[in-house]
Structure formats: C-alpha cells, structure tokens
Structure 1
Amino acid sequence: MITIKNHAEFESYLGQELGVSEWHQISQQQINLFADATLDHQWIHIDEERAKTDSPFQSTIAHGYLTLSLIPYLWKQIIAIQNLKMEINYGIEKLRFAQAVKVNSQVRLKVRLAAIANLRGVTRANIAIELEIKDEKKPAFTGEAVFLYHFNA
C-alpha cells in the first residue's frame, strides 16, 4: 500500500501504476441490496430463475453502477491518503462499461495516476481505473476517477 501525505508526494507517482486491490466477490445479496437502495429492480439483476433462461449471461449480473460504487472501497486498499482536511469524489471521466459482471464473479481495481494538478492548494488527481474480472479478458469498466484532496498545510 502506498501512503501519501501531501501534493508533492502524490505528484511523484505521475504516470505510474499505483497498484491493484484485493479480489472482491459480488454476491446476489449485494446485488439485491443495491437494487433496493437504487430502486432498480430490473430482472437481469434480481430474478435468478428468469436470468438462467432469458439472459444471454445465463445468470444475474451486477448493476453497472454497483461496480462503480466499489471504487472508493477498492481504492482505499491500494493507497492511504493522510494529512487531509477533506476528500471529495469529483467525477468520473472517459467511463466505458466493457463487460457485464456475473453474480459471484470476483473483481479488483487496477489504478494509475493519469494526471495531477494543484488548484490553489487543492490537489485534483485523475486516477486511471480498470475493474478487472477474474478469469475474463475484458474488464468490467475503464475510465478515470477524479478526486479532490484538501491537504492540511
């Protein structure tokens, strides 16, 4: 795990791969809870019996936004940002969903520091992200997560 305490330390990693998280298995329970939280109860996510016969995946699949919501959890397994007043999820750029994540699949986050800027004392970090699916060639998604870090002086 990398530890970052200020902008200069963070900037020293520009262009470098920062690491890879642990594998996380996406269960049907997690999918169902996400469906309840987001009011998205489309059958391809929650109807296991219908998915076996009617879905091209032959199983339920995780919501794309569920896989995105794992970014902060998996990111914190790779890097520890310390000496902060505040951290803000600022956006996601260049996002592409490349492949569905079937229930019980394992995923992990691979990251690289794509860009970094000092915006009058606030660090904006663009993190190239790829959510890998175990035993699959294509990732679930690729893009750039953008975070704002307000370091203590």
Structure 2
Amino acid sequence: MKALEFENFSAFKLMKGKQLPIGNWYTVTQEMINDFANATLDKQWIHVDEKRAEKESPFKSTVAHGFMSVAMISKLLEDSFSIKSVKMGLNYGLNKVRFPNPVPVNSQLRMLSEVKEIEMLSNNGIKVTFSCYIEIKGQEKPACVAEFIAALFE
C-alpha cells in the first residue's frame, strides 16, 4: 500500500484514531542480526551462532533480538506516512512493549500501525503515540506489539 503524504501537522491530526497504510515486507538477514549484535554488544549464541542454533535452539535457527524489531519501528513507519513540513523527528519512548513470537533469520516483517494520540508541543512540534503491530509473514502471532511515541518538529 502507498504511504500517505500530509502537508503539515494540521492535515496529519485528522489521522488520530485511524490506521495507517500497511508497510512493505523486510527480510531479516543474518548480517542484520550480526550488525545489531555488534552495535548492542548482545552476542548471545541464539542470535549469532548459526551452527549451534541449528543444533541446540528450539527455533532451529538463529533469531533476531527482540529489541531489533523495536529498532525497526521508525523505518517501518516511514513506509506508512510522511509529513512534508517535518524537519526533524525524535524517538520519544515506548509503552507496553511485548515480543510474543521470535523472529527466525530470513523471516519477513512488516508493520500495521494506528495513530493513537497526538499532542501539540510548545516548540512547533507534536508528540504522536502509535499502536504498532509487527507481523511475521506466515505466522499467526506478531514479532512485536508496542506503543511507540515520536516527537516531530516543523
């Protein structure tokens, strides 16, 4: 589905309580998992040791870090919408983060999201709370369910 484009915050505010377009599928490769492991210093074998994971892991392959799916939220939101007047965006925080299903290497992820709340900020900005549901292709349970909060500035 094509991303929605908004001229400014006034136009975007009409999205409160509405679902955004579903984003593109992204394949989670071993290289991505290794890069995340190196960046976060979390090199537990279930993430980086492919041979051991095949033999010893209940998942029979390496799996992505739960926080890797959270780290992808900003990019996954870019697939759903843009606001032309935005000059800068910041990750403000998260609420109610859960990882119901592991993400095996080479899984495909995409996100369904809804604009839950929009709050005006005093410095030409808005704080937006998104309900995020990161699904794994072919799986019933999602990889991640979270409320993601972003601060956007014009």
Same structural fold, with TM-score higher than 0.5 when normalized by the shorter chain = yes
1:14 counterpart (13, 16, 32):
16
Identity percentage of aligned residues: 37
Asked if 1:83 is matched to 2:85, the reply is: yes
Give the distance between the partners of 1:50 and 1:86, measured in 2 at CA. 43
SS of residue in 2 equivalent to 1:131:
strand
TM-score relative to the length of structure 2: 0.93
Determine which structure has the larger strand proportion and give its number.
Answer: 1
CA displacement, residues 63-121 of structure 1 (integer Å, 9 cap, x when unaligned): 11111111111111111122123211101111111110000000001111011111224
Equivalent in the alignment of 1:66: 68
Matched-pair contact (CA < 8 Å) for 2:9–2:83: no
Runs of 4+ residues over 3 Å off in structure 1: none
Secondary structure at the counterpart of residue 126 of structure 1: strand
1:70 and 1:122 map into 2 onto residues whose CA distance is 23
Residue 113 of structure 2 corresponds to: 111
The residue that corresponds to 1:40 in the other structure is 42
User: 1:135 corresponds to which residue?
Assistant: 138
Q: Give the equivalent residue in structure 1 for 2:94.
A: 92
After superposing the two structures, state which structure 1 stretch, 22-31 or 65-74, moved more: 65-74
Alpha-carbon distance between aligned partners in 1 of 2:83 and 2:59, rounded to the nearest angstrom: 38
CA-CA distance at 1:5 after TM superposition: 2.6
What displacement does 1:122 show?
2.0
Any unmatched runs of 5+ in structure 2?
A: none
C-alpha separation between the residues in 2 aligned to 1:149 and 1:52? Answer: 43
Cα distance in 2 for partners of 1:44, 1:55 equals: 7
TM-score, L = length of structure 1:
0.94
In structure 1, stretches of 5+ residues that fail to align are: none
Which letter maps to 2:15?
A: Y
Determine the C-alpha separation between the residues in 2 that align with 1:20 and 1:66: 19
Q: CA RMSD in A?
A: 1.1
Q: Give distance in 2, aligned partners of 1:29 and 1:7.
A: 37
